[in-house]
Structure 1
Amino acid sequence: MKILVTGAAGFIGAHCSLRLLRDGHQVIGLDNFNDYYDPALKEARVRWVEAEAGAFTLQRLDLNDAVGMAELFASEQPEVVIHLAAQAGVRYSLENPRAYIDSNLSGFLNILEGCRHHPVQHLLYASSSSVYGANQHIPYRVEDAVDHPLSLYAATKKANEAMAHSYSHLFGIPASGLRFFTVYGPWGRPDMSPIQFARAIAEGRPLQLFNYGQHQRDFTYIDDIVESLVRLIPLAPQANPAWDREHPDPASSPAPWRLFNIGGQRPVELSDYVALLEKHLQRKAEVELLPLQPGDVLATCADVSTLEQVTGFTPQVSLDEGLGRFIAWFHQYYPRPDQDVARANGQAPVHQRRAV
C-alpha cells in the first residue's frame, strides 16, 4: 500500500516507517524538522531507517502549510494516512502554547481536509494518554469520559479526537485515534525521561523527580506501539450499529470512528523506574525530589481490552527488558558521557529540555 506517515523523522514515526518499509509498503514520509529539539537527531533517524530498509520518499513540509499539504495529497494519493506529527510535550505547552494550536489543530485540519478531498482507506492518528486528565478511574478505559484535560497539549489531543469524529460523520472517513502511553525505546526524544535520566546518571548529575518521585507511568516499548499500529492498518473502523444515543459509548460511534489505548498495562513508580536505569547503567543516581508540576497527572495505566479484542495483540515488552534494549542503544549513540547526540555526529549541540 502507499502510506503517508507524518512525523516520519520523529521517534515513533521513524520506527513505524522502518517497519512499513520492511513489510513492503510504499512510505511517503513527511516532517518539518523543527527545532523543538535538535534536528540532527531527526536526520540521524532518517539515515538509520534508510540504512536498514532503503531510501524512501521524504517531504520536508510543515503540517500548517495548507497549500503544500493539499498539493501533497493531490500528488501522492495515499491509501492510508498514519498521522504521528505533532507538537509534543506537556510542560512546553506552558511556554509556547501557540505552537500547539498551529501544529496540533491547524495542522490536523489539513490532514482531515486531505483525507476528505482524496479519500483514504484508513486514517490512524496519534492521540495521548494525557487526554484522561483529571480522571481518577484506573486503569483508563476508552469508554471513560475525558472532559477535564490538565494541559493545553492534552486539550489539543482531545480536540483531535473530536475533529476526526466530525469528519468521519460528515465525509465517511474511517478514523482510528490511538492513545499512546509513555512511549520509550531506542531513538527516543531527548526531552523525555529515558535519555535525560540516563545522561544525568552517566554524568553524575542529579535527576529531578517531580511529585517527589511518586508519579506512576504506564511505560510502553516502541516495538509494541508499532506492532499495534501495523495490525490496525487493515482494520478500518465501521459504524457501530449498536451505538445508543441515550447511552452513548465515547469510544465508538454511528460514524466509522474508534479509539484505542496502546499501553503496557503495568504502571511503574518513577523511583522504581530510576532503579532499573541504575541497574542497566551500573551506576547510582543522584536524585532531587521536587513538588508536582502544573499539567502533570499522578498516574497512568491503560486498559487495552479493545485493542486486544480487535487485533488479538497486547503490548508485551516489560520495562526491564525494554530499558535494557534502550541502554544498549544509548551506549552506542552516546559514546562518552560528556557528548550529546549532535556532537556524536559532528554537529551542533542538542537543545534539551527538562524531562517529562
Structure 2
Amino acid sequence: MSQLKPMSHIDSAPSTPGKFKMEKASYFNRVRWHTSLAKLAVWSFVFLGAILIFFLRSPASSPVPADLSRRSLRTYNWGGPVWEKRVRASAQIRSRNGFAVLVTGAAGFVGTHVSAALKRRGDGVLGLDNFNDYYDPSLKRARQGLLERSGVYIVEGDINDEALLRKLFEVVPFTHVMHLAAQAGVRYAMENPGSYVHSNIAGFVNLLEVCKSVNPQPAIVWASSSSVYGLNTKVPFSERDRTDQPASLYAATKKAGEEIAHTYNHIYGLSLTGLRFFTVYGPWGRPDMAYFFFTRDLLKGKSIPIFEAANHGTVARDFTYIDDIVRGCLGALDTAEKSTGSGGKKRGPAQLRIFNLGNTSPVPVSDLVSILERLLKVKAKRNIMKLPRNGDVQFTHANISYAQMELGYKPTTDLQSGLKKFVRWYLNYYSGGKKAVE
C-alpha cells in the first residue's frame, strides 16, 4: 500500500499578509484541521482493513526459522471427499494377506523403489512426501509420476504435521508404516543442522506419537543408517558393535532415532524394526551421492575428487544396489510382528529389531571411478585429496548374517553390474539415451 501523501493542496495555498482578519484565518485553520483528521481516519481504516484481510487469507501456520526452510512445515491442500477417495484407492489391498502400508519419503530414492515393489505384489500403498529442495525437486516429481502411473498416490505433506497424519490413519487403518522420510546427507549437516533435528528426530517422534495412539497400532519399519557406526575400527560392522561415536550430526540423529524407537517400543508396545542402509545406489538415485555426481562431472570433463585417509589410506564403501535394499525392506515388513499396544497403552512385549542391509564387499572409491570411466568411455581427471573432517568416515563394511538369518536377505548385485544399470538410466534420463554404455 502506498504511503499517505502530504495534503499539499491545502498547505500550499497562497496567503497574503493582512488580507484576512484573524477570525477568518482561525476559521480556515479549523476547517483545514478537521479535513486533515477526516482524511487521516479514512486512510487508517483502509490500512487496518488491508491488514485484517491479509491475516484472514494467510495460511494458518506457525513461522519456522530460516535454517529449517528446506524442511519447513507448510500448509498443503488436503482433505475432502475427492482427496479421501484417492487415498483409499491407493491404499486398497489387492492380494490375499496383503498389507496396507504408509510409506513416508515416498518420492525419495529408496521410497520410490519400495513403494513400486509393494504395489506390484498387491499391497495397498499410500505415499507421503514434502518434496523439499535438499536436491532437485524435479527428480522427485518425476519419481512421483512414475508411482502415479502404477497406482500409488503421494500425499504432499510433512511428517511433523500431526493433524495430517491423524487424518490419514482415520481414512485408512494402516497395518504397516515404512518410514523412509529423513534429512539425508552427512556434509549438509554442517550447513543446516536444524533440518536434521526437525526431520530425523522431531518428525520421527511425531510419527510415533500418532502410531502409538491409533487403533490398531501399525508395525513400523524405518531407515536408520550405517553412519551410526561412526569411528568404529572393527570390521565388518555388526549390529552388536558400539554405536556411541557418531562422526556427523546426521549419524547422531539416526542413533537418536534408534534410542527413541527403543523408548516407544518399551512404553507403548510399538513393533519397530530399524534398517541400517549401507551406501545405496542405482537408477533414480540421489544427486548428492558420489557415484551420481561423479557420473555427471565425468561427462562434463570436470575433475573428480578422490579422498584418501591419513598415510595414504584407502577410502572404501560397502556399495549396495537398490534392488537388494528393496528386498531387505520387504523382508523386514513381512517378518514384522504386530504391535501390542492399544489406545496408547502397552498390552505386552513387542518386537524390536535392528538389521544391517549392505553388500558385504567394500570397494575403494578409486575403483568406483575406474568402473565409471569404462562405462562412460571417458578418462577421469583425478584430484587426490585428504579426507576432510566433515563427517565422512574412511570405510564401511556390513556384517549381514543377522539379516540373512531373520529376513532371508542376500544381496546379488555387484558394483560393476549395478553401476551399468545406473549409467544406462542416467544417460536416458538426462541425455535422451544418446550415449552408449558397454
TM-score, shorter chain, exceeding 0.5 = yes
Distance (whole Å) between structure 1 residues aligned to residue 147 and residue 199 of structure 2: 24
* Aligned twin of 1:300: 396
* Aligned twin of 1:347: none
Q: Which residue among 223, 236, 239 is the counterpart of 1:126?
A: 223
* Aligned twin of 1:205: 302
Q: Which residue among 369, 372, 395 is the counterpart of 1:277?
A: 372
Of structures 1 and 2, the one scoring higher in RCO (CA 8 A, sep 6+) is: 1
Q: CA deviation at 1:7?
A: 0.4
AA paired with 2:100?
K
Q: CA deviation at 1:336?
A: 6.9
CA contact (8 A) 2:283 2:426 kept: yes
Q: CA deviation at 1:193?
A: 1.2
Q: CA deviation at 1:70?
A: 2.6
* Aligned twin of 2:259: 162
CA contact (8 A) 1:237 1:257 kept: no
Distance (whole Å) between structure 1 residues aligned to residue 170 and residue 308 of structure 2: 48
AA paired with 1:62?
D
* Aligned twin of 2:83: none
Q: CA deviation at 1:132?
A: 0.2
Classify the secondary structure of the residue corresponding to 1:59: strand
Classify the secondary structure of the residue corresponding to 1:191: coil
Classify the secondary structure of the residue corresponding to 1:228: helix
CA spacing shift, 1:227–1:55, aligned 2, 3 Å: same
Distance (whole Å) between structure 1 residues aligned to residue 324 and residue 217 of structure 2: 25
* Aligned twin of 1:7: 105
Distance (whole Å) between structure 2 residues aligned to residue 194 and residue 27 of structure 1: 30
Q: CA deviation at 1:121?
A: 4.2
Q: CA deviation at 1:255?
A: 4.7
Q: Which runs of 5+ in 2 are unaligned?
A: 1-98, 340-348, 434-438
Give every structure 1 segment of 4 or more consecutive aligned residues whose post-TM-superposition deviation is greater than 3 Å. none
Q: 1:319 and 2:415 equivalent?
A: yes
Distance (whole Å) between structure 2 residues aligned to residue 149 and residue 102 of structure 1: 18
Q: 1:151 and 2:248 equivalent?
A: yes
Q: 1:215 and 2:215 equivalent?
A: no
**Counterparts of residues 1-356 of structure 1 (less than 5 Å):** 1-51=99-149, 54-118=150-214, 119-211=216-308, 214-236=314-336, 255-293=350-388, 294-335=390-431
The higher radius of gyration belongs to 2
User: What is the RMSD of the two structures over their aligned residues, measured on CA atoms?
Assistant: 1.8
Please give the per-residue CA displacement for 1:266-300, whole angstroms capped at 9, x wherever unaligned: 00000011101111111111111222122111110
CA contact (8 A) 1:176 1:237 kept: no
Q: TM-score, normalised by structure 2?
A: 0.71
Instruction: Indicate the percent of aligned positions where both proteins have the same amino acid.
Output: 47
Classify the secondary structure of the residue corresponding to 2:431: coil
CA contact (8 A) 1:140 1:300 kept: yes
CA contact (8 A) 1:169 1:256 kept: no
Distance (whole Å) between structure 2 residues aligned to residue 303 and residue 160 of structure 1: 21
Distance (whole Å) between structure 2 residues aligned to residue 199 and residue 336 of structure 1: 14
Q: Which runs of 5+ in 1 are unaligned?
A: 240-253, 338-356
Distance (whole Å) between structure 2 residues aligned to residue 111 and residue 76 of structure 1: 15
CA contact (8 A) 2:319 2:359 kept: yes
AA paired with 1:60?
E
Q: CA deviation at 1:83?
A: 0.3
Q: TM-score, normalised by structure 1?
A: 0.87
Classify the secondary structure of the residue corresponding to 2:355: strand
Classify the secondary structure of the residue corresponding to 1:178: strand
Classify the secondary structure of the residue corresponding to 2:308: helix
User: 57-66 or 9-18, which moves further after superposition?
Assistant: 57-66
Distance (whole Å) between structure 2 residues aligned to residue 319 and residue 49 of structure 1: 26
User: 210-219 or 268-277, which moves further after superposition?
Assistant: 210-219
